A and B are shown apart, each in its own frame.
Chain A
Amino acid sequence: MSNRRPYVRSMDGWWKRNAYYIRYMAREVTAVFVAAYAVVLLVGVVRLSQGEAAFNGWLQALKSPLSLVFHLVLLATFVYHTWSWFNIMPITMPMMFVGGKRVQPGMITGTGLVAAVIACVAVFFIVRGMHP
């Protein structure tokens, strides 16, 4: 049995050491909020299946100040998710070539962000068009 106690550098808070890691963490943590929103919607669907009174209870809960704060936080993290998703897309997607030249990272990110803005505006107007 050896009495050596080799020095092992602690990994605690490793991601706070570097701005790149902090951005990485911020991007990955958005997943917790995406999960939270999916649960909110899932509860809504389940309450819907339980009848009008149950569903109205869910709607009422959405009108509480706490829910508003929660959804404002959700909105901020979702916007950050959109931004970061397309920001890393030049790295996550396979290389793309147009006319023999590699498509520039800024082009990929920019196109993605424009597509997201168009998609969000479209969803908003489709929903508003159904119930003016």
Chain B
Amino acid sequence: MKRSNEPIFWSLFGAGGMLAALIGPALVFITGIAVPFALMNPDTMSYTHMLAFSQHWAGKCFAFAVIALFMWHAAHRIAILLHDFGVHAVALVKFCCYGLAFLGTVIAGYTLLTLGS
């Protein structure tokens, strides 16, 4: 029997879903509402601070994990969702969804690496 690739994608889906469930609301509130609209120190996300954050290995790992895992989580769910809405080209849908998540992962990884340390 051919081995299924499902466990890999399901693990990424699960990891992303768990990360989003645990800290997603706080991240959206901070980056999208509190800092841009000065409920928190607007300097929190200044160029200097964000550059320092992305140049620290921990910051790099955190940013990469959030972006990549959120994308893999969403890709898996959206692939199944499209099937629910009557798009039955399963292989094509999976290729596109996982492909976009992969592209996002590569861009995030490459960019964070080029930001240096």
Contacts and interface: CB of A to CB of B under 8 A. Distances in A.
Interface of A: 11-12, 15, 25, 28-32, 34-35, 37-42, 44-46, 48-49, 52, 55-56, 59, 62-63, 67-68, 70-72, 74-75, 78-79, 81-82, 85-86, 92, 112, 115-116, 119-121, 123-124, 127-128, 130-132
Given A38-B104, A46-B107, A52-B47, A123 B26 contact: yes
Given A72-B33, A120-B25, A48 B41 contact: no
Given A42-B104, A55-B47, A131-B41, A31 B77 contact: yes
A78 B20 contact: yes
A35 B23 contact: no
Do most interface residues of chain A lie in helix, strand or loop, or is the interface mixed? helix
Nearest to A56: B47
B61 interface: no
Interface of B: 14, 16-18, 20-33, 35-37, 40-41, 43-45, 47, 49-51, 54, 63, 66-67, 70-71, 73-78, 80-81, 84, 86, 104, 107-108, 111-112, 114-115
A56 B50 CA distance: 11
B-side binding surface: helix, strand, loop or mixed?
A: helix
A67 B63 contact: no
Contacts of B26: 119-121, 123-124
B62 to A, nearest CB: 10
A14 to B, nearest CB: 8
A78 B25 contact: yes
Contacts of A63: 36-37
